[in-house]
Amino acid sequence: MSVLFVSNEENREDWLREIRAAAPEFQFLTADEVDDPSDVEFAVVARIGRGGLGGYPRLRAILSMWAGVEHLLADPALPPRIPIIRMVEPSLTRGMVEYVCCHVLNILLRTDCYPVKGWYHPQKRQPRFACGFPVGVMGVGVLGGACATALRQLGFPVNGWNRTPKKMPGIEMYSGAGEFDVFLNRSQVLVLLLPNTPETRAILNARSLRQLPPGASIINAGRGELIDDQSLLDVLEQGHLEKAVLDVFSTEPLPDDHPFRGHPKIIVTPHVASITNPKTAADVLSVNLRKLRDHEAVWPVVDRDRGY
């Protein structure tokens, strides 16, 4: 059974080696290696070029190597109706928990002030404690849920905001537009882990950023499109926000002359908050391929109308 493999990532050879080892009963082929397109039943893909999945008449499912799938949905030539399965794998989740907890703790402890302030660090004069420093997680899905749980275990009061109502032990949950402002008002650090959809684009804008308490900070590990860049610069420069940690940007790589670069209140990381690990992801892909081959249910299937 043939599986089309589409990736231009630097570590594509690692991926191929790992998935071939994890699922030896499938034949993984790059587009150049496919002799008969009607043999291809599944596609394992990172980024595809426009129309890159056209011309495979028996394609039954698309398995994404990434958690975010908006780049796939943006292709008007994407084969309709067949399921798209997002990547959920333990290393990706673990990496995001480490990134988010690291930056929330850095913000709480103002660690980046030490080199500037020396002995008279503000933490020494006005200590801040996790128990009095509420963190809001926007998008309490696979990644946001794991981050919310870890932050709670570190002693932070945690608020979560979702599209639909959800309960999570120890987390104060909010949902929908009606509870958005209350959620923001109560979040001293805001962690963005929403997908990029028509509903979430520029969800942090001049109005919503001002709903955060004075001196709040944000961490964006979701997608750059969630934030209106100029509004963020304005609230930082006007002193309403203390800090922004940004891993994702509307244009990537972030242009050299972008005002986020070198900004004294912004930390930029180059879309590295969490990265799929080919080894652990190959195990997930092999399980899902076998289920799909046997016509069993797989998870999580993207809702194309919702956009994630």
Residue 278 within binding range of ligand NAP, rule CB under 6 A: no
d(CA 218, CA 106): 12
Rounded to a whole number of angstroms, the minimum distance from the CB of residue 107 to ligand NAP is 17
Cβ closest to ligand NAP, residue 116 vs residue 177 = 177
Which 98-127 positions form the footprint of ligand NAP (CB under 6 A)?
none
Q: Which stretch binds ligand NAP (CB under 6 A): 45-53, 101-109, 140-148, 207-215?
A: 140-148
Q: How many angstroms separate the Cα of 119 from the Cα of each of 2, 122, 127?
A: 63, 9, 14
- How many residues bind ligand NAP (CB under 6 A)? The answer is 29
Cβ closest to ligand NAP, residue 152 vs residue 223 = 223
- Specify whether 86 is catalytic: no
- Selection from 268, 260, 272, 267 nearest residue 113 by Cα: 267
- Selection from 137, 103, 107 nearest residue 122 by Cα: 107
> Residues of 24-33 as b/e, b for ≥16 C-beta within 10 angstroms?
eebebbebee
The phi, psi pair for 151, rounded to 5°, reads -65, -40
With CB under 6 A as the contact rule, the residue among 199, 207, 230, 255 that binds ligand NAP is 199
Cα angle for residues 249, 251, 255 (degrees, 5° grid): 100
Site string for ligand NAP, 222-261 (x = CB under 6 A): xx-----------------------xx-------------
Q: Which stretch binds ligand NAP (CB under 6 A): 120-128, 155-163, 259-267, 289-297?
A: 155-163
| Residues 221/191, Cβ–Cβ less than 8 Å | yes
- Specify whether 271 is catalytic: yes
CB atoms within 10 A of CB 17: 15
Cβ closest to ligand NAP, residue 8 vs residue 164 = 164
- Just list the catalytic residues: 223, 271
Q: Which residues bind ligand NAP (CB under 6 A)?
A: 67-68, 92, 139-144, 161-164, 193-197, 199-200, 221-223, 247-248, 271, 273-274, 308
